[in-house]
Amino acid sequence: MANIPDDIFFEGIAAVNARWKAKEFSAVELARAFADRLERVGPRYNALALSLREPAIRKAKDLDDERKRERFRGPLQAVPFAVKDLLAVKGHPTTWGAKPYAGQVFDYTATVVERLVKTGGLLMGKLAMVELAGGPSYRYAAASLQGPGLNPWDRTRWSGGSSSGSGAAVAAGLVPFALGSETSGSILTPASFCGVTGLRPTYGLVSRYGAMALSWTLDKIGPLARSAEDCGIVLQAISGGDSDDPGSAGKSFYYAPQFSRAMKDITIGYAPVDFTDWPDPDARPALQKALEDIKALGVQVKETRLPDFPYGAILGTILGAEAASIFEELVQSGKVDTLADQRQIAGLKAAMDIPARDYLKAMRIRSLVQDAFRQLLADVDVLVTPSRMSIAGKVADPLDRGSGATRPRPQDRGMSSAIPAGNLAGLPALSMPCGFANDMPLGISLVGRPFTESTLIAMGREYQTRTDWHKRRPPVQG
């Protein structure tokens, strides 16, 4: 086998593909090297749910044959990737991170996985996740079949939920990119905590067929990767209409950076309090510097704040009611009691009693939220806010007693509720690494109108050409 250089594990998608095309190594050699790393280092972070070494090597042989015939499909060809374990892969376990489903095997493959494989991507494995994607609530990072997601920057800290394995795998160089899912923060949070770039697509842009449902009207699937550019490449491959997903918007995304809007034509909105009062004190300098770097891109700037709604309560009611319907059999059979987290168990049981009138009222208020965002985003193109207000917490700490829990909340809420608000409105968001506090990564998020991923990615690319936070590597790489 060729000696695969260590730097390949932290290369972006285009670079890995280009080096394979240049015959620096074969796809088989690449697959074996990434499988070795995934199996050796993945368990160190509780990131690996299932290795798919042998199927990947078989696929890699076909790709090397294609290279001999000069049949090149695009930038994802021969690039290894892995997916969150809520995505079905035919004939292999799909556990949803939960003990009751540990032996579950489907006879079909999720649409997004099929689309990536069709482009020539190498599916290396399935990644750990918080059980049942965290819904409707959980209290400890250990709520996972593989144990708590450990952060590659500091294994005493959490890698973030519920896409814990996806965030850790990209940060640790186990795969160039991974798929995660978000219902309320499960792409943006691990991206921020692990120092990688994560894209939450517009609701309906990416098919969820073959993915575990947690909330039919909130769930979204998206990439965690090295850079905004890599997120754009992956999004082009996985987006598009799908008749098997009733929530599909029937739209596609094409990554064409040459047609991006000029930065001077983009207006950003931000709330100063998000960078001065809401974050942990240690995080404020890096987040404030990130905001100044965003402003320096040449964009127009406007101060703003989110419309005044109880975003958390609205989202919690919708998620809880839909999750109760989805997991009704789990609760009624009593198997729910085998889950790892007591709050998760109690939350699912309690959700069974949410009245229909409360769910319908929440959905009506949600329509008002969407209208309010249409008005807000008529004046600005992109909202800028910290992805999270703190670094990753300690693995053993209860999630409701994390950093900032004892500090008084600022009276001005600014855009501190951007995650539940953006998910209720179905808006796309891009989280990028933007600095460190106490040697742990921080992230800054760009939030846009529906189906404006191209603008977010263009801003992200420009920001990442002027900064190198997305190129930083954890100190222990293994």
Catalytic residues: 84, 162, 186
CA torsion angle for 330, 97, 315, 430 (degrees, to 10)?
Answer: -160
How many CB atoms are closer than 10 A to CB 376? 18
d(CA 9, CA 478): 11
Long-range contacts of 369-377, Cβ-Cβ distance < 8 Å, separation of 24 or more: 369/307, 369/309, 369/311, 369/314, 369/421, 369/424, 369/425, 370/424, 370/425, 370/426, 372/307, 372/309, 373/307, 373/421, 373/425, 373/427, 375/307, 376/269, 376/304, 376/306, 376/307, 377/448, 377/449
